[in-house]
Chain A
């Protein structure tokens, strides 16, 4: 067992927000069949949203582009899904939430409490939803206020998920920490776009979106590395992890745990595979436990 902001995880892999997280049953499948140590839900907001029109996700050679547009049934509509996941997944369930202002974040957080999420993850980082996500998350004052507003109304751990689409991610990380965050999660997707040259149309329904998968891993490594230096609270790494080697790399940069999103495209049981790979690596290298590799690369130069 492995402790992350007070949650007990059987391994340090977590399902990332917005991926296979729309229904309680799907979250349970990722936990049980997939072997994830914890799961994060789709980001839930104050009112029902259908999201952007399709195409909302495409696979590229180097990764994935998506602009889902935060589709969600609103917090009242999501309660039964969260309850189901809590009762049947046997792992910690973290509710991802979003809003346009501190009061909205607090409203959604409180609204989901009856289903007893194990922690909350604040999405202040989605790059393609006007007025939400990164619109909040590129402003340090707002990030601090949003974090504090949620901390005020809940007594479960609060994680804040950061966008890499800013000049200095550590400045936003510091704001989250000042607001009382228990951990930060880095990174959300990197702004991107694809154009169909036969017709000239941007491919995504929203025209532009966020890049995830293999292509963003070096961006994630750098963000985690910098945040590890700048913050006292744990950094949870996410971005382009699709193997145990990727997970170990993010951990050496400073990640206390890793989230996996796009890689479920290849196989849902990627979590147990990564968990087992990390174990075998620790054993082969003679590390007594996982703490020995977290932030290891900072001691090297």
Chain B
């Protein structure tokens, strides 16, 4: 498909470096965890998880995201998607634990809402650098228990999401969904592996995307050779056993980069 032209209807400032862009198109059939390729014309096209069926939530890190931050309501950009495989929806009565770090809360918030609507009980561990960076706290809070962690201790537990996780009875949950920086996901992975609950867990990975549609091979992970853009970005814990998660990724040229 050619990129869809969407117009920005509203911009919300979530924190100094994170903004949500609402646009005039709804991806009615999106699965939470799926992503879109965002075409900032003349600059680049980058993957972003859908934070609702009509919004993306963006952290300003480099060229394309900085250019996005210059856009105003009424401006437009291109969108292709939704692509990839999202999180598995729970059934009625299941208990779901979400573990979100930083902008990783973006794809987990629509998942929390869908899981709750499906009749599951939703608990969230939300981590960020400081209180002001806790993304979508209110969306998770409205659905169930929420445990915060901040690096500086300005809210919740001082430390990482894993410090909260250590105190929880993970065996009580039917599903665990994780998204955040890779270092964080790798330590969550190790903890869940130790507690022998990996088969309940799903992780949303981040790799360098070129085509975004499963053809070029830029985003393949070791040792499975699975494509993050098409076979993922959400993988089960079992699929990631013995994988490169937390060890290295590859840059645009395909070179290995230590994490």
Contact = CB atoms under 8 A, between A and B. Distances in A.
A9 B215 CA distance: 23
Contacts of B212: 54, 57
Given A20-B220, A53-B43, A58 B254 contact: no
A27 B254 CA distance: 14
A141 interface: no
B215 A26 contact: no
A83 B127 CA distance: 41
A66 interface: yes
Contacts of A78: 254
Interface of B is mostly: loop
B2 A194 contact: yes
A51 B253 contact: yes
A49 B218 CA distance: 13
A72 interface: yes
A260 to B, nearest CB: 11
Contacts, number: 135
A59 B213 contact: yes
Interface residues of A, number: 46
B76 A54 contact: no
A27 B225 contact: yes
Contacts of A28: 225
Interface stretch (B34-42, B92-100, B193-201): B34-42
Chain B interface size range: 35 or more
Contacts of B220: 20, 22-23, 25-26, 29
Given A71-B254, A73-B253, A73-B255, A51 B2 contact: no
A29 B224 contact: yes
Given A22-B254, A42-B254, A71 B226 contact: no
B3 interface: yes
Contacts of B46: 54
A196 B45 CA distance: 14
Interface in B69-121: 76, 78, 80
Contacts of A199: 5, 41, 76, 78
Contacts of A71: 210, 218, 252-254
B195 to A, nearest CB: 28
A159 interface: no
Given A22-B254, A71-B218, A198-B76, A59 B225 contact: no
B241 interface: no
Given A201-B42, A203-B2, A205-B44, A264 B214 contact: yes
B225 A29 contact: yes
Given A51-B253, A71-B252, A203-B2, A19 B216 contact: yes
Nearest to B43: A53
Interface of B: 1-3, 5, 37, 39, 41-46, 76, 78, 80, 209-218, 220-227, 250-256
10 contacts: A18-B216, A23-B217, A25-B222, A50-B252, A50-B253, A54-B46, A68-B210, A71-B253, A196-B5, A205-B45
Interface of A: 18-23, 25-30, 42, 48-51, 53-60, 64, 66, 68, 71-74, 77-78, 81, 194, 196, 198-199, 201, 203, 205, 261-262, 264-265
Question: Top 8 A-B pairs ranked by shortest CB distance?
Answer: A29-B225, A198-B5, A54-B45, A57-B211, A26-B220, A20-B217, A50-B252, A25-B225
